[in-house]
Chain A
Amino acid sequence: MLNIFPSLMLILCPAEDSVRVTVVVVLATSENDVIDPKLADLAKEVQKRDPKLTGFKLMTTEGKSIPVGESHKFELVEKQELKVKVEKPKDGNGRISLTIKPPGLENITYGCTCDKFFPVVTPHRTKAGEVLIVAVMAKPCAAAKKEN
């Protein structure tokens, strides 16, 4: 009975807070050195780990408001998906907790300051040999309010 109570509370009192999660899809390659201006910082950090990746192309940007406790699958490239679950809204340290499941990796739960991107260089390679990179950001930074 005690185990049922939290679930019942979730059904009867759905969470009002939603977190807007933004996912940027990037393809990196060693075939060229063209870097999208928006990805300059990301390219510099990735090249610290792999200097051979010289070209960085921004493919898509998608934002989705996800209620706390729920998840959403973001479409990437070549039918790959990134599953994002909002674990907790902004805490006392200003971090929003997310669990992500990138292609080729297992679940990763982390907290990140709002409005900052957390990159993941995945093991997935496209048919053209490009490295799939996702960068995840969550907000709002202000106090959570109900969206219309």
Chain B
Amino acid sequence: MNALPPDEFSEEMLAAYADGELDALDRTRVEQWLADHPEMMDELRVQRELSASNAALWDAAEPPEPNAATWAVVRQEIEAELCPLGPASGDQSRIHRVAGWLLGSLAISGVAAAIGWVAFASTLRQPAIESHKPTEVVRRPETGLETAIAPAPRLISDSPDLLAAFAVLPMSTDDDVILDRVPRLCDGCLPIGRHPVPGMLELASVDDVYLEEVNPSPAWPTSGGPKMTTAPGDAPMIFAAKPR
């Protein structure tokens, strides 16, 4: 504030002086400036009237409130601007508002329908385009057996239902299936296919087995190979279980 030359005192400086916010030095400068510029005394008077010291006065003041007649005149002027043919009644304006809403809704619906048509038109036209593609026809050589042999069922790989080609699922028979390895399971768990051992194990008799060659093993007696039977009529077997 001190840096300002006396000729550049602004209205803000003058307002601060009027409000008593300046220190002694600035106050002296403003007073000297006012002495040199007496024409600014009127401005100082205005600033003092607007001073914060009059805040209570300003707060007590109320803005002018237009009465009902004034508002009616303003309303008529607005309606005259909006409806040049004359002032509309309350019912007419309500009708106009409803009509406006209806027209707006119809316009929005039309836009939505147009967007939908554009979006789905391509998919709807696709089959029509494909139907106009030339179809390649391959003729089979006639063999004379076409009427005698029904066409074999054909699996269509791109069909979602892989079983669509079958009216009845063709099932294999017992002769079609060979069970190579069967774990211990209940009877009837395999509806098709013969168990490798369908019945009781039929053991070989003494006459059925001929021991050709046996490599030496601590499991047999030193006299030779394993003892195949323990008594006449026994089924032969190699018994090499360790004693418990």
Question: Hey, which bits of chain A sit against chain B, CB under 8 A?
Answer: 22, 24, 30, 37-42, 45-46, 48-50, 52-53, 57-64, 93, 95, 97, 99, 102, 104-113, 115-123, 125, 131, 135, 137
* B244 and A123 contact, CB distance less than 8 A: no
Residues on B with C-beta less than 8 A from A99 are: 213
User: Given A49-B241, A59-B184, A108-B214, 20 more contacts at CB 8 Å?
Assistant: A24-B201, A39-B200, A48-B234, A49-B237, A50-B241, A60-B182, A61-B197, A63-B181, A63-B196, A106-B216, A107-B215, A108-B213, A112-B204, A115-B202, A116-B203, A116-B208, A117-B203, A118-B209, A119-B237, A119-B238
Contact A38/B199 with A121-B241, A125-B242 known, Cβ cut-off 8 Å: yes
Residues on A with C-beta less than 8 A from B241 are: 49-50, 53, 121-123, 131
Question: Hey, which bits of chain B sit against chain A, CB under 8 A?
Answer: 178-184, 195-197, 199-205, 207-217, 219, 226, 230-231, 234-242, 244
B235 to chain A: closest residue by CB: A45
B201 to chain A: closest residue by CB: A117
* A116 and B179 contact, CB distance less than 8 A: no
Residues on A with C-beta less than 8 A from B216 are: 106
* A52 and B244 contact, CB distance less than 8 A: yes
Contact A41/B202 with A50-B241, A105-B219, A123-B219 known, Cβ cut-off 8 Å: yes
A sample of 15 inter-chain contacts (CB < 8 A) reads: A42-B201, A45-B234, A45-B235, A53-B241, A61-B182, A62-B180, A63-B178, A105-B219, A109-B212, A110-B209, A113-B208, A118-B236, A119-B238, A122-B241, A131-B241
Per the bound structure, the CA–CA distance linking A125 and B217 in Å amounts to: 17
Q: Report the minimum CB–CB distance from B38 to chain A (whole Å).
A: 123
* A117 and B209 contact, CB distance less than 8 A: no
Which of A42, A49, A58, A123 is B242 in contact with, Cβ under 8 Å? A123
Q: Report the minimum CB–CB distance from A105 to chain B (whole Å).
A: 6
Which of A22, A48, A53 is B196 in contact with, Cβ under 8 Å? A22
B182 to chain A: closest residue by CB: A61
Per the bound structure, the CA–CA distance linking A6 and B175 in Å amounts to: 37
Residues on B with C-beta less than 8 A from A64 are: 180
Per the bound structure, the CA–CA distance linking A66 and B130 in Å amounts to: 57
Per the bound structure, the CA–CA distance linking A132 and B80 in Å amounts to: 113
* B180 and A63 contact, CB distance less than 8 A: yes
Residues on A with C-beta less than 8 A from B217 are: 105-106
* A104 and B237 contact, CB distance less than 8 A: no
Per the bound structure, the CA–CA distance linking A93 and B209 in Å amounts to: 11
Per the bound structure, the CA–CA distance linking A97 and B197 in Å amounts to: 20
* A42 and B203 contact, CB distance less than 8 A: yes
Residues on B with C-beta less than 8 A from A125 are: 242
Residues on A with C-beta less than 8 A from B178 are: 63
Residues on A with C-beta less than 8 A from B204 are: 112-113, 116-118
Per the bound structure, the CA–CA distance linking A113 and B219 in Å amounts to: 25
* B231 and A48 contact, CB distance less than 8 A: yes
Which of A48, A57, A61, A63 is B230 in contact with, Cβ under 8 Å? A48
Contact A40/B200 with A63-B178, A105-B217 known, Cβ cut-off 8 Å: yes
Residues on A with C-beta less than 8 A from B184 are: 57-60
Residues on B with C-beta less than 8 A from A108 are: 211, 213-215, 226, 238
Q: Report the minimum CB–CB distance from B105 to chain A (whole Å).
A: 78
Per the bound structure, the CA–CA distance linking A118 and B237 in Å amounts to: 6
